[in-house]
Amino acid sequence: MSLQRPATAVRTLPHIPEIDSRLPAIGTTIFTVMSALAHQHGAVNLGQGFPDFDCDPRLVDAVDLAMRSGHNQYPPMTGVPLLRERVAAKIESLYGHRYDPGEEITITAGATQAILTAILALVRAGDEVIVLDPCYDSYDPNIRLAGATPVHVSLRPGSFAPDFKVIAAAISPRTRALVLNSPHNPSGTVWSGADMANLAELLRPTEIALISDEVYEHMVYAGEHQSVSRFPELAARSVVVSSFGKTYHVTGWKVGYAAAPAPLSAEFRKVHQFNVFTVNAPMQYGIASYMADASHHLGLAAFYRAKRDRFRAGLASTRLRALACDGTYFQCVDYSQISNRTEADFCRWLTTEVGVAAIPVSAFYAEATEQRIARFCFAKRDETLDVALARLAEL
C-alpha cells in the first residue's frame, strides 16, 4: 500500500486513512451470526457454546467479597499468586506434573488471549503452524497476525481422529508449532493416551512447539483427560491453555491461564505484559478462593454427562443421528436422512423454520467441506434441551 496519495487525488475532509487489512478475509463469526438469527426468530439457541444457566452463587459471593475487601487495583502482571498456586496444585493433582506457579503459570484474559499470546510469543513471520481441522475459529487468524502461515490438516472424516501420517506429511522445516485441542470443539472427540504417545514420537526429532488448548479438560465422559502435561516430553515443548469460563460456567468473565516451562513462559509473559498486562483482580481472587474446593471442577464431568445423556436420549427419537461425544459440551449430529442442504443452509433453516439454532461444522474448516453435520451445544437448562428436542422430533 502506498502511504502517499497522489497530489491530484480529490480528498474530502475529514479523511479516514486507507487501511491494508491484516485479516482481509475475516467477517463476523458464525457464532455471532447464528446467535443473532436465533434471537431474531425466537429459536432455542443451541448454537454458541455458553451455558444458559447461572454459575454457583458462591463464586459470585467470592468475587463480591474480593471487591469489598479492596482487591480493585492492578494485580501482579502474571496473575494473583494464590490463583497461580491453586492452578499449579490442580494440574499436579490431576496430571502429575508440577509447574512452578512463580515462573510457569500465567493468568490470562480467557483462553483466547492465552492462545494468541502463545502464538505471538513462539511464532515468527514466515513460520508455519499446523492446525487440525475442524478447529476453533481463532487459531487461523492468530497465526496470520504473527505473520506466519496456518497449515490446515484434516482430522479423519467421520471419527475426527488424528491421522498421524497426514500430520507428519504436513511438517516442513518451517513448522514452528502445532495447535492441539482435546477434548475437541466441535467434534466432542478426546485424544487417547496412544494418540499422545504418537504425537510425542512424531515431534521428538523436531523443534516444534505445542499449543495445547485444553479448555474442556474437565468435561471428559470416557476415560481420563490426556493433558499434554501428563507427558513430560510433550509438556517440555507445550503451552497448555485452559479457561475458567468453561469450568465454572462464567464464559463472560474471560479468565483463563497458560502453563508452560519457564523459558516458554518467559517469552509468553513478554507478550502478555504489553498486551493485557494483567487480568481483572476481583475475578482472580474470587476464583482462587472458589478453587480451594476441588469438587467444583471434579464434579463438572458428571454434571455435563447427565446433560449429554438427556440430550442424546432425546435425539434417539429424531431423524438426526448423534455422533460419538466423549468430551466437551458439544453434540454433533448427522442430518443426511433429513436434508441435502449444505451445513450452513441447514443450520440457517433449522434456526428460522424449526426454531433450534445449531452451528455448521463446515464453519470450522479452512477448505469447503460438507459432511452434513451440525453442532449443538448442550450446556443448557434441561427445560431448554427438552424444548429443542420436542422441535427436533418434528423433523
Ligand X SMILES: Cc1ncc(COP(=O)(O)O)c(C=O)c1O
The yes or no reply on residue 78 touching ligand X (CB under 6 A) is no
Residue 132, strand partner residues: 153
Angle at the Cα of 362 from the Cα atoms of 137 and 384, rounded to 5 degrees? 80
Q: How far is CA 261 from CA 95, 173, 306, 365, 371, in A?
A: 15, 23, 36, 31, 39
- Judged by beta carbon, residue 183 or residue 355, the one nearer ligand X is 183
State which of positions 205-264 bind ligand X (CB under 6 A): 213, 215, 243, 245, 251, 254, 256
Q: CB 19 → ligand X: shortest distance, Å?
A: 26
- Comparing CA positions, the residue from 250, 218, 300, 219 lying closest to residue 58 is 250
Which of the ranges 106-114, 297-305, 332-340, 350-358 carries the binding residues for ligand X, by CB under 6 A? 106-114
Q: CB 15 → ligand X: shortest distance, Å?
A: 36
Which of the ranges 105-113, 140-148, 335-343, 357-365 carries the binding residues for ligand X, by CB under 6 A? 105-113
Cα 142 to Cα 150: distance, rounded to the nearest angstrom: 9
Q: Return the C-alpha cell found at 388.
A: 429443542
Q: CB 256 → ligand X: shortest distance, Å?
A: 4
- Largest Cα separation within the chain, whole Å, is 70
- Judged by beta carbon, residue 278 or residue 318, the one nearer ligand X is 278
Q: CB 101 → ligand X: shortest distance, Å?
A: 20
Instruction: Name the residue number minimizing CB distance to ligand X.
Output: 110
Q: CB 238 → ligand X: shortest distance, Å?
A: 15
- Judged by beta carbon, residue 111 or residue 240, the one nearer ligand X is 111
- Comparing CA positions, the residue from 88, 138, 80 lying closest to residue 114 is 138
- Judged by beta carbon, residue 214 or residue 267, the one nearer ligand X is 214
- Judged by beta carbon, residue 131 or residue 392, the one nearer ligand X is 131
The yes or no reply on residue 101 touching ligand X (CB under 6 A) is no
The yes or no reply on residue 112 touching ligand X (CB under 6 A) is yes
**Which SS3 state, helix, strand or coil, does residue 87 take?**
helix
Q: Residue 360: which residues within 8 A CB-CB, separation 6 or more? A: 30, 342, 343, 344, 346, 347, 373, 374, 375
- Judged by beta carbon, residue 56 or residue 233, the one nearer ligand X is 56
Q: CB 245 → ligand X: shortest distance, Å?
A: 4
- Cell 460456567 maps to which residue? 249
- Which positions from 300 to 339 touch ligand X by CB under 6 A, shown as an x/- string? ----------------------------------------
- Judged by beta carbon, residue 122 or residue 215, the one nearer ligand X is 215
The yes or no reply on residue 110 touching ligand X (CB under 6 A) is yes
In terms of C-beta density within 10 A (0-12 exposed, 13-18 middle, 19 or more buried), how is residue 110 classed?
A: buried
The yes or no reply on residue 49 touching ligand X (CB under 6 A) is yes
* Residues 115/143, Cβ–Cβ less than 8 Å: no
Q: What are the contacts of 17-26 at 24+ separation with CB within 8 A?
A: 22/144, 22/145, 23/141, 23/144, 23/145, 26/141
- Judged by beta carbon, residue 257 or residue 318, the one nearer ligand X is 257
Q: CB 172 → ligand X: shortest distance, Å?
A: 25
* Residues 351/38, Cβ–Cβ less than 8 Å: yes
Binding site for ligand X (CB under 6 A): 49, 110-112, 136, 181, 185, 213, 215, 243, 245, 251, 254, 256
